[in-house]
Amino acid sequence: MGCFGFLKVMMFVFNGIIFLAGAVFLGVGIWVKVDSGSILGFLQGIKEAPAAVSQILNVGYLLIVVGAVLLVIGFLGCCGAIKESKCMLLMFFVIVLIVFIAEVAGAVVILVFKPFAENLFAELGTKAVQSIRSEYGLNSDVTGIWNTTMDTFKCCGFYNYTDFTGSPFERQNHSYPTQCCSSVYFNSCNATGAAHSADSNQAITGCFLKFKNLINDNTVAIVAVALGIAAIEILAMAVSMTLYCKIDSKID
Every domain of the chain and the residues it spans: 3-111, 136-212
For 225, half-sphere exposure in the C-beta direction (CA atoms, 13 angstrom radius) is 5
Residues 6+ apart with CB under 8 A from 39: 31, 32, 56, 57
Read off the pLDDT of residues 148-198 as tens digits, 9 standing for 90 and up: 888 888 888 888 888 998 999 988 888 888 888 764 444 445 554 444 444
Predicted TM-score of the model (pTM): 0.56
Residues 6+ apart with CB under 8 A from 13: none
pLDDT value at position 109?
Answer: 72
What are the residue ranges in the chain where pLDDT is below 50?
42, 44-53, 183-188, 192-201, 251-252
pLDDT value at position 183?
Answer: 46
User: What are the two backbone dihedrals, phi and then psi, of residue 46, each rounded to the nearest 5 degrees?
Assistant: -75, 125
Q: Over the Cα atoms of the chain, what is R_g?
A: 25
pLDDT value at position 136?
Answer: 92
pLDDT value at position 178?
Answer: 84
pLDDT value at position 40?
Answer: 53
pLDDT value at position 35?
Answer: 65
**Coil/strand/helix, residue 190:** strand
User: What are the two backbone dihedrals, phi and then psi, of residue 140, each rounded to the nearest 5 degrees?
Assistant: -65, -35
Residue 5, amino acid = G
pLDDT value at position 252?
Answer: 47
- How many C-beta atoms surround the C-beta of residue 123 within 10 A? 10
